[in-house]
Amino acid sequence: MKRQVHWLLMILFCGLAVLPILWGIRTSLSPEGERSLVPSSVTLEHYRKILSQGFFYRYAFNSAIVSIGSLAVVAPLSLAAGYALARFRFWGSKMAPLLLAFPLLPAITFLVPLVRYLNVIGLYDSLPALILANSAFCTPFCVWMMRNFVHTVPVSLEEAGLLDGCSRFSLLWRIVLPSALPGLMAVTVFVFVQVWNNFIFAYALTTAQSLQVLPKAVVGFIGSWRTDWGGLMAMGILTLLPPVIVFQFLQRWFVAGMYGLSTK
Amino acid sequence: MTDMPVRRSQIVPTLLFLPAFLLLIFFWCVPLIPGLALALRSPGAEGDWPSLINYSRLLGEQTFRHNLLLSLVYVVGVVGAATPVAYAASLLMTRNIRGLRWSRSLLLIPWVVPAVVSSLIFRNLAGPEMAPLTQLYRLISGEPNLLPLQDSFWAMTTVILHSFWRSVPVMTLFLAAGIATIPTEFHEAAQTDGATSLQRFWHITFPLTRMHLAVGMLLVTAFTLQDAETVYALTGGGPHHGTEVAAVRLFKEAFDYGQFTTAAAIGSFLLAGGLCFMFLYLGSFRRTEVTL
């Protein structure tokens, strides 16, 4: 009896989580003006329309560059900083609680000054600007996750390495890195999902049409495609596929990272 | 605390820590100071400095007071709705019921979907005639011709509903992480003493996850307070400023109208709000550390 109740509740929760997405898929597959809940006929017309145009590939490429670029910045930085925080007592240790507090500040406040600042250093309206802003945004949380992962690696392993004459950095490379791999997976999930989905930095820091990323393009289309819901939804579904796929494969590590985060 | 043999070295940790630290300094702290100074400049290319005109104009404006009120409604609505649901979900998730492992990745979907895409979906759900949310709202309100996104109340309801939907997963994870740290012996001991599951929740689970609850609530609060993108994509702040929370106002002032000084002033309001929450969070964190 109790078991059935649990099952029912879980199905209810999952249903609520997934239903809006199913609605989006339904709309993207329906002919224009479809009125029933389950469409009477399915069409791939909307997808064909989007995929036949060059702009989609351009924007998807930009999104990929920004996401992978941010990952390339955040992963090594957070591994190094997380390791330092987990294994040493130094001036940075006092900064650690502040690190976790950064994401609690409203990022949007920093946008206006950031625009002026990027103008000064000549990066405004470029993909590197997006990479740096996104990286700065993701770093605090990732450092914290890495710190917690390193904590779970036994120190004795490193001591053995030190005794064998490893330098600090080859230690990091040969012993810590392999054992911190789950942490890097968690960082990968977090950064990819956050950066790929980010709209606000893209809107604020780039203006050129050729530099658009997918979420910004989606919002742009709301204005111009107003009633073409099928097309808009197809665009939306294509945009959400990469993060959802990455998450499905790597979520195990991310969940572990979250657990570590809170148990420490 | 596990200390490494070379305890006194400051150079190695500094070298390791510095890149991340510099990135944060350059992208969070350095822009902040001129940004706050910007709020004290009167509008126009040759604006006076310092001047409180942005603040006096904003505070004297009824629209802005409404923006702030809507921000509060938004935060309270989302946190208030998400907390009990996330609690229930996390309790279910940590039960480790056989056959329910698959549920985790489905449950977390709302967090993974791009905010602008889910906004778009909700815009459609509450949009055209036959859309499910529109139908539901019409049923509840008893108005057969209601257009939710043309009505301030229902538009705001949709905005809150959407952010609630997005916030539950993160909070659920936080709470589940907290629940997972409770030793099973506690529950077993209580069970042998004849405690009901409700009593066990109230006397064991709830007090021991208080910190996680606080952190989860504050995370959602902070995200909701600064959220401009989902509202911008869902309603654009309309109808007639009906869903224009302070963050959206900032966003539109800066990037649609180019009023950077006004935007910076609004930003300082949000920053003050964010700082309040941060101290609250740090405060509750410290307090529970003592009790543990």
The pLDDT tens digits for B194-218 are 888 888 888 888 888 888 888 888 8
The answer to whether residue B159 scores a pLDDT higher than 90 is yes
Handedness of CA A54, A63, A234, B129 (dihedral sign): negative
Say whether both A16 and A136 belong to one domain.
Answer: no
Residues of B in contact with A123 (CB under 8 A): none
pLDDT for the residue numbered A87: 86
Residues of B in contact with A6 (CB under 8 A): 92, 95, 97, 100
CATH number where A128 lies = 1.10.3720.10
**Residues A242, A222: Cα–Cα separation, whole Å:** 21
* Least confident range of A59-68, B140-149, B242-251: B140-149
In a domain, A48, yes or no: no
Say whether both A24 and A90 belong to one domain.
Answer: no
Over residues B150-162, mean pLDDT: 94
Work out the end-to-end distance of chain B between its first and last CA atoms, rounded to an integer number of angstroms. 16
The answer to whether residue A258 scores a pLDDT higher than 50 is yes
* Least confident range of A192-196, B93-97, B131-135: B93-97
**Residues B86, B103: Cα–Cα separation, whole Å:** 14
CB A17 within 8 A of CB B109: yes
pLDDT for the residue numbered A1: 66
pLDDT for the residue numbered B287: 57
In a domain, A4, yes or no: yes
CB contact under 8 A, A24 and B121: yes
Question: To the nearest whole number, what is the mean pLDDT of chain A?
Answer: 86
**Is the model more confident about B137 or about B5?**
B137
pLDDT for the residue numbered A193: 94
Closest chain A residue to B10, measured at CA? A90
Q: Which amino acid is at A227?
A: T
In chain A, the number of structural domains is: 2
pLDDT tens figures, B11-66: 888 888 999 999 988 888 888 787 788 888 888 766 777 788 889 889 888 999 99
The answer to whether residue B165 scores a pLDDT higher than 80 is yes
- Burial of residue A227 (number of CB atoms within 10 Å: 0-12, 13-18, 19+): exposed
Over residues A156-162, mean pLDDT: 80
Report residue B243 as tokens: 């869903």
CB contact under 8 A, A110 and B28: yes
pLDDT for the residue numbered A212: 92
Q: Number of A to B CB contacts under 8 A, please give it.
A: 302
Q: Which homologous superfamily is B46-110+160-291 in?
A: MetI-like (1.10.3720.10)
pLDDT tens figures, B78-98: 999 999 999 999 988 887 666
Best B112, B124, B285 residue to mutate vs chain A (most A CBs within 10 Å): B112
CB contact under 8 A, B30 and A117: yes
Say whether both A142 and A13 belong to one domain.
Answer: no
pLDDT for the residue numbered B96: 67
Local confidence band at A264 (pLDDT 50, 70, 90 cut-offs): very low
pLDDT for the residue numbered A72: 96
pLDDT for the residue numbered A262: 53
CB contact under 8 A, B270 and A232: no
In percent, the amount of chain B with pLDDT more than 90 equals 33
Say whether both A64 and A137 belong to one domain.
Answer: yes
CA separation (Å) from A166 to A61, A88, A139, B148?
A: 41, 18, 28, 66
CB contact under 8 A, B23 and A73: yes
**Residues A34, B241: Cα–Cα separation, whole Å:** 31
Report residue B287 as tokens: 């307090």
Q: Does A225 touch chain B (CB under 8 A)?
A: no
**Minimal Cβ distance to B212: which of A104, A168, A262:** A262
Nearest-neighbour CA in chain B from A149: distance (Å):
13
Closest chain B residue to A14, measured at CA? B107
In a domain, A168, yes or no: yes
Q: Does A81 touch chain B (CB under 8 A)?
A: yes
Q: Does A256 touch chain B (CB under 8 A)?
A: no
**Minimal Cβ distance to B117: which of A27, A236, A263:** A236
pLDDT for the residue numbered B1: 45
pLDDT for the residue numbered B97: 67
Give the A window 82-111 contacts with B, CB below 8 Å. Answer: 83-85, 87-92, 95, 97, 99, 101-111
Nearest-neighbour CA in chain B from A242: distance (Å):
10
* Least confident range of A10-19, A69-78, B34-43, B108-117: B34-43
pLDDT tens figures, A99-139: 777 777 777 878 888 888 888 888 899 999 999 999 999 99
**Is the model more confident about B167 or about A150?**
B167
**Minimal Cβ distance to A17: which of B30, B109, B116:** B109
pLDDT for the residue numbered B200: 85
Say whether both A38 and A66 belong to one domain.
Answer: no
H-state helical runs in chain A = 2-29, 45-51, 54-87, 91-101, 108-120, 127-151, 155-163, 168-171, 177-179, 181-197, 200-205, 214-225, 229-263
**Residues B62, B66: Cα–Cα separation, whole Å:** 6
Using only C-alpha atoms, chain A has a radius of gyration, in whole angstroms, of 22
The answer to whether residue A169 scores a pLDDT higher than 90 is no
pLDDT for the residue numbered B289: 47
Local confidence band at A73 (pLDDT 50, 70, 90 cut-offs): very high
What is the DSSP secondary structure assignment for residue B2, as one 8-state letter? P
Closest chain B residue to A11, measured at CA? B103
Say whether both A29 and A150 belong to one domain.
Answer: no
pLDDT tens figures, B213-260: 888 888 899 889 989 999 999 998 878 889 999 999 999 998 888 888
Q: Which amino acid is at B14?
A: T
Coil, strand or helix at A32: coil
pLDDT for the residue numbered B292: 36
Q: Does A14 touch chain B (CB under 8 A)?
A: yes
Closest CA to B218 of B274, B159, B152: B274
Residues of B in contact with A35 (CB under 8 A): 129-130
CB contact under 8 A, B105 and A222: no
Say whether both A90 and A159 belong to one domain.
Answer: yes
**Minimal Cβ distance to B274: which of A87, A105, A193:** A105
pLDDT tens figures, A137-147: 999 989 988 88
| Range of the structural domain that residue A145 is part of | 53-263
* Least confident range of A249-263, B148-162, B200-214, B278-292: B278-292
CA separation (Å) from B117 to B25, B186, B191, B234?
A: 32, 44, 46, 9
Nearest-neighbour CA in chain B from A251: distance (Å):
7
Nearest-neighbour CA in chain A from B37: distance (Å):
9
**Is the model more confident about A163 or about A22?**
A22
Q: Supply the pTM of this predicted model.
A: 0.89
Residues of A in contact with B124 (CB under 8 A): 23-24, 27, 229, 232-233
Coil, strand or helix at B155: helix
The answer to whether residue A166 scores a pLDDT higher than 60 is yes
Say whether both A201 and A82 belong to one domain.
Answer: yes
Best B17, B101, B124, B164 residue to mutate vs chain A (most A CBs within 10 Å): B17
Q: Does A160 touch chain B (CB under 8 A)?
A: no
ipTM surpassing 0.85? yes
The answer to whether residue B153 scores a pLDDT higher than 90 is yes
The answer to whether residue B100 scores a pLDDT higher than 70 is no
pLDDT tens figures, A219-243: 888 877 767 888 899 999 999 999 9
pLDDT for the residue numbered A238: 95
